[in-house]
Amino acid sequence: MTDSFPLVQLSELADIGSSKRIYANEYVGEGIPFYRSKEVRELGTGLKPSIELFIKPERYNEIKKKYGVPKIGDILIAAIGATIGYTWIVDTESPFYYKDGNLIILSVKDGVNSSFLNYVLGILIADFKNKDAAGSAQLALTIEKLEKMQVVSPDIELQNQFAIFVRKVEKLKSTTQQSIDELQLLFDSLMQKYFG
């Protein structure tokens, strides 16, 4: 299949970077949510994030003005530790910021579908983890490693069609899981009734 689509470096499809450093003494009890790998994992799997850290709105606005902040369609990737490879496609305009070193951001370029790229990233990162896991004390994705990864680059129409297909499959998986959960509850209830 890759024979029919050009292979390009990931850096041709997205600008890859990190955040500006936020120090522990800048954390506050309330304000702008500050996401780490844990929160990105939760968001990427459809859960509400268990936000524990915040930064002052003034600090957020300073960063936003000088460097920019994540926007809808950007992809955040957990880059180190047990959560490596978890991604979240930013789907909110609500302000938040994220931890440098732990997370990498892909700002998708024009003509690239975020859902398509996110799916491809999953394959690339799984391959990276399989190849690099042996002999590595702690596996880590770096900006440089991501930039050099080779990616298929079909035209945007095919990317959009693929993204629609993936959404349908994910919805079907969710519906099926709901049915399985309901059947399990019914089974447990009947077991309790007859044998409990």
pLDDT in tens, 172-186: 877 787 788 788 888
Among the ranges given (17-26, 127-136, 140-149), the one the predictor scored with the smallest mean pLDDT: 127-136
Whether the pLDDT of residue 60 is over 90: the answer is: yes
Per-residue pLDDT at 1 = 45
Whole-angstrom distance, CA of residue 35 vs CA of residue 87: 12
Residues 10 and 16 sit within 8 Å (Cβ to Cβ):
yes
pLDDT score recorded for residue 137: 60
Rounded mean pLDDT, 21-29: 94
Q: Is the pLDDT of residue 24 over 80?
A: yes
Select from 15, 133, 120 the least CA-distant residue to 81: 133
Contact predicate 86/141, CB 8 Å = no
Residue scoring higher pLDDT (92 or 169): 92
Mean pLDDT of the chain: 88
Q: Give the single-character DSSP code of 194.
A: H
- How far is 157 from 150, CA to CA, in rounded Å? 20
- For the ranges 43-52, 56-65, 182-191, the lowest mean pLDDT is seen at 182-191
Average pLDDT of 59-85? Answer: 94
DSSP state string for 90-136: ----S--EE-TTTEEEEEEPTT--HHHHHHHHHHHHHHHHHHHSTT-
What is the structure's pLDDT at 2? Answer: 45
User: Residue 135 pLDDT more than 60?
Assistant: no
pTM of the predicted protein model: 0.81
- pLDDT over 70 at 134, yes or no: no
* Residue 121 scores a pLDDT above 90: yes
Share of the chain above pLDDT 90, in %: 58
